[in-house]
Chains A and B, each alone.
Chain A
Amino acid sequence: MNQGMKALVLGLALSAPLAVAGNGTTAEHIEAATAAYKQLAKDTGYQWTVTVKAIKAAQKALKEGDDAGARKLAHQAMDLVEATRKQAKIESETWQMRVPK
């Protein structure tokens, strides 16, 4: 991956709003991330493999009793969903630029 790409990916990730960190059980946070992922896929068709990985890792951590780790992963997944949503929005507005005329 070139530097520009890395910066862009990082930018997308950082600009994603922080998921609500406070209320609810960790299992609920994982569920919320999963639901958000599925809803976005339904709305836009955009899905990132890393989001699925984060969700699965969160489920595994929770099962193994690592509540804090699981919660962190669930929030990561939620941030990735938000970054994906941003990508879908930007793309729906700008993709025509790439079509040769």
Chain B
Amino acid sequence: MSTKYETVIGLEVHVQLNTESKIFCGCSTEFGKEPNENTCPVCLGLPGTLPVLNKKVVDYAIMAGLALNCEIAEYSKFDRKNYFYPDLPKAYQISQFDLPVAENGRIEIETDEGIFNIGVTRVHLEEDAGKLIHEGSIDKSKGSLVDYNRTGVPLIEIVSEPDMRTPAQAKAYLTELKMIMEYLDISDCNMEEGSLRCDANVSLRPVGQEEFGTKAELKNMNSFSAVEKGLEYEVKRQRQLLEEGGEVVQETRTWDESLNKTISMRGKEEAHDYRYFPEPDLVPLEINEAWKEEMRKEIPELPREKYKRFVSELGLPEYDAGVLTGDKDMAVFFEEVLKDYDDPKNLSNWMMGEFLRLLNENNHSPFDSGVTPLNLARMLKLIDEDVISGKIAKEVFEKMYNSGSDPETIVEEEGLKQISDEDELENIVDGIIAENSDAVEDVQNGKDRAIGFLVGQVMKETRGKANPGLVNQMLRDKLMD
């Protein structure tokens, strides 16, 4: 009988904080500058310089810790993590070892299989390293070119407990983290640009066994899909190994997107002995209740709470609530419209339909378009009050999107008002009846569906402006007595 295996995954996530200046010096953190333009004696690690901690970095780390339900340290300090690599000019990285800013948190995630609580071991602060470009391949290069612009950009590292049991859970956890950071507005969280990075520890163990199996550390997963694919591959690889009676080796493996597999980095990295010790150039942090409370006030309603509230209080389907809260600006926009409009489901249909379609087409975020929340509310009211038809509304909406005009002006200028006046429709309806004798006969023979065809003809004739309910009623009155 074959053994059943359980997957165990823990994630280490690095989040670049979106401060203006670096963590220990006043250099700009702006992305995309010429190489080494954002450098100074401090971040170049020149002798005789001293780091001074950026307060906002600590503020953000406290906010992240609180949002992840962590305990915030009353006393925290920095340590040196020592290793030689050209992207690290000081030959050590200032990080936090035994007294991180936050510990013992957890977040709730949801997958198709249900709701899970994932533990957050710790959140600590550190400085980013520079960027290396190898001349030629990494093996055969003669040398490396180094750009220190990224050196000293503030990072938080969020370490999870080994609580995830499937790659889907890992992806959900990472997605939830990203959303929380975006709601807090402390990071751009762009995996492709490297402001969100994820490493994973993966192991398998026989179901029922408490002790963890030997783990592999997985690196270089540069997108959400890479995280899922990389983990799925690695789980399959380890299962196969174990089923064939082999053993998993503890090692670092890198995800190769082009080959669609993980590759061993054994022999390509030195054994780690970072010889951490307290950073003597920085004094400790003491975070009191007042500071914590000040930061707690900065935390908005978080995505998971918002999602639950949209379902329970607004009565939205879970799917709608998920789409709307999945993007902070989308959720904020939605709630702005609701201040002037009181049918959440109808609004949600519009936001997830026409609005999202145009946003995706134009690669816009909700507040980039010409549609203001108030104007969307006004347009929806025009539909509800039968001033315009739902079909015309799509035309109006697109014009609002592109021009920034309000719906009333567009309806007025373009003559798009719905025709709800029987006298005005009378001639048109009579004309359609005269032109479509076959359909008329069908209707009179009880084929109810033919009515729809006739309504469609009237709509066409009026370029969508006729009130379809009224036209339907008029046709019935004329043909079916």
Pairing of A with B: no
Residues of chain B whose beta carbon lies under 8 Å from any beta carbon of chain A: none
Residues of chain A whose beta carbon lies under 8 Å from any beta carbon of chain B: none
